[in-house]
Structure 1
Amino acid sequence: MEFTIARGEVYLRISAILILVLAACLIAFDTQTKVIVFTIEKKATYKDVNALKILVYITSVAAGYNMLQLCKHSAWAYSGSKFERSYISMAWISLLLDQMAVYITFASNSAALEASVLAITGSQTFEWIKLCNRFTRFCSQIGGAMFCGYVASFIMALISTISAYRVFRMYSPKLYTVSE
């Protein structure tokens, strides 16, 4: 049972890493240039919106964190050690870091989504134009990246559930019963 859960966690972490890297690359390498008036060109990049810039950084850090966790799990698997009382603090730290990664990734995706909705709809109050009418390819690629970010957040939530299972399994009465 534990081996199956560990294998599932490895597959989930690899999936999260790939999707987070895909989301970061989709945002970071997305540019589109349009001619506004005769020779005046406007270039749309992720650097134009601070929420997208922060999203690139956070998805990159989250992918790196999942890679480090994957390395930690592979080191534990090769050492052949079982969970003992000395590993309880490490399991709690992993759970808390997994939770933080999920919440921060989800929050940054939501902030970027809010900024993107303003780019789609504009705001007459602030006299902001609808940017996605001009930069359609840029906006659709950003939308795909945000979808990837939400999928990665969901996968990391599943990973966090597995981490919680590992932590609370250590407090099971069956684990610490004395055999006669």
Structure 2
Amino acid sequence: MSNLAETAPISSAHIPTLKLIDCSLRLCVIPLSVATIWLTVTNQQDNSIYGKLEFSNLTGLKYMVCISGISAGYALVAVVASWVRCLVNKAWLFFVSDQIMAYLMVTSGAAVLEILYLAYKGDRGVSWSEACSSYGRFCSRVNLALALHALALCCFLVLAVISAYRVFSMFEPPVSSKEVEEERAS
């Protein structure tokens, strides 16, 4: 059975590389989220037949803007916190927070994806026609914002894996009952 002290130098050699990747990904999230917010908030198009369409008309877009703002703020705080030494182990905090952010970004991306699907395809069952032929520029900008949001989501998915590795590498692997019996017998 390995001792935790024996494995500590091996895992601590990876910490600087992981910390660099972690901070880089968190720093990447900030401009991606800010660009998503800017593209979405400034998105509007006027149509002489149907009127003006703005992001504030669609709840899913407002939700994505809120989640993008939260993710940018969290990423900034997390970058600063990762370089500040304190007595508290932040691995669990980052693990839980990264998971929550990834889930929130998935939900907001799904909401916008649903809006885009309806905008491109419509829903004949409830007499909704597609809208992107009338609001093409609006739909294109929402597509771009969704792509940037998806990139930020990918960053958080990798961050969630890194933070999970950090948390669970602090513990020894579980020992099977067979190994315990063999250890007692010897």
Instruction: Report if TM-score (shorter chain) is over 0.5.
Output: yes
> Counterpart of 1:147?
147
CA distance in 2, matches of 1:9, 1:60: 19
* 1:64 is the counterpart of 2:73: yes
**Identical aligned pairs, as a percentage?**
28
Amino acid of the structure 2 residue aligned with 1:30: N
> Counterpart of 1:6?
19
CA shift digits 1:96-146 (9 cap, x unpaired): 111000011011101110121111111222221211011101100100111
CA distance in 1, matches of 2:105, 2:57: 20
Instruction: Provide the secondary structure at the position in 1 that maps to 2:92.
Output: helix
> Counterpart of 2:8?
none
CA distance in 2, matches of 1:157, 1:138: 28
Amino acid of the structure 1 residue aligned with 2:119: A
Structure 1: gaps spanning 5 or more residues: 174-180
Q: Which has the higher contact order (CA 8 A, sep 6+)?
A: 1
Deviation at 1:172, TM superposition (A): 4.1
**Normalised TM-score (structure 1):** 0.83
> Counterpart of 1:75?
84
CA distance in 1, matches of 2:106, 2:154: 9
> Counterpart of 2:54?
45
**Normalised TM-score (structure 2):** 0.81
Structure 2: gaps spanning 5 or more residues: 1-13, 174-186
Deviation at 1:4, TM superposition (A): 1.2
1:163-174 alignment to 2 at 5 Å? 163-172=163-172
> Counterpart of 1:23?
36
CA distance in 1, matches of 2:56, 2:62: 6
